[in-house]
Structure 1
């Protein structure tokens, strides 16, 4: 009988120790509090707008985060973006070191070695460029360099339509071929002259355009 008594005593001790135990729990972590909705690597994809394919995105890392305010797409490893017309012809390409797209405001913010080239041969470079798709404008408040087939300009403020066909650079200087813009022939030397166009500075569309981090 003694073995059974020892077994029952051990069972009672085990049950009582389980009842006295405390459960240690941590607060629940909800994915939407901090985690991105989507994170993709090695991206090469087409993006449509209003039912038409308008862009091709190439990026090493693409994060879609709706927890941040405002919600945004994040390209922190660089971005290459092609824009197409209705016939799927490339209108322009844009590349930069870092990019943010605020989907609710339809605002792109490009940072670090921003380079743009259009089908007309225009080349733009700066350390900053905003693209407001609501107002169909491109603008920058940092030093910008613009080269066209027949002139070269640079200045501290830039604004343009999104096709880079009508633009303004203020506080600038530039050069152009005398045969196209003054007396002389096209083979004449380049004439340097300050740009006389002055533009009223445009503030970013939303507070997010000033501070995104």
Structure 2
């Protein structure tokens, strides 16, 4: 038999299995969340929520329209800092149906910024952009990509005369 756990901060204060729910902030529904297991470590320093068996999240705007879809193999939410850490196979689709793929992503609800220092792949309607590290607004509309590369599609039948 193993050693008994005597420190309360080593145990989750809540464990919920098979979660499909809505999360509100200030009385407004902000997210729809699905996860196999949701653990809340309320006595850890800092306290956090753990989604170590995957998470699917829909973020809503004030009119209950889906702003973004987020999937990740693992996620942590640091409730006091209002900071999400998404780890492994992170996939995000924004309002413009652009797709972002990376292995590590932070989403700071306080500053309304999303960022990573890892490889990022962004698929847009007319191009695919890759880079190492990026920062964006939380709607993922205005990304700034570091060390950028890309595949850009060119319309070869477009006129080349720059005068007309």
The answer to whether the superposition gives a TM-score over 0.5 is yes
Aligned with 2:92 (options 107, 116, 123): 116
The superposition leaves residues 49-103 of structure 1 with CA deviations (integer Å, 9 ceiling, x where unpaired) of 1221010110000001112110000001000010011111111110000000000
Tell me, which stretches of 5 or more residues in structure 2 are unaligned?
160-164
Q: Superposition pairs for residues 45-56 of structure 1, below 5 Å?
A: 45-56=21-32
Please say if 1:185 is aligned against 2:158: yes
Alpha-carbon distance between aligned partners in 2 of 1:154 and 1:133, rounded to the nearest angstrom: 25
Higher RCO structure, 1 or 2 (CA under 8 Å, sep 6+): 2
How far is the alpha carbon of 1:118 from its aligned partner?
1.5
Q: CA separation of 1:29/1:161 partners in 2, compared to 1, >3 Å: closer, same or farther? A: same
Aligned with 1:161 (options 134, 137, 153): 137
Give 4+ residue runs of structure 1 displaced > 6 Å after superposition. Answer: none
User: What residue is the counterpart of 1:79 in the other structure?
Assistant: 55
User: What residue is the counterpart of 1:145 in the other structure?
Assistant: 121
Alpha-carbon distance between aligned partners in 1 of 2:9 and 2:126, rounded to the nearest angstrom: 52
Tell me, which stretches of 5 or more residues in structure 1 are unaligned?
1-26, 187-213
Q: CA separation of 1:169/1:33 partners in 2, compared to 1, >3 Å: closer, same or farther? A: closer
After TM superposition, the score normalised by the length of structure 1 is 0.69
User: Highest CA radius of gyration, 1 or 2?
Assistant: 1
The number of residue pairs the alignment matches comes to 156
Name whichever structure is richer in helix by fraction.
1
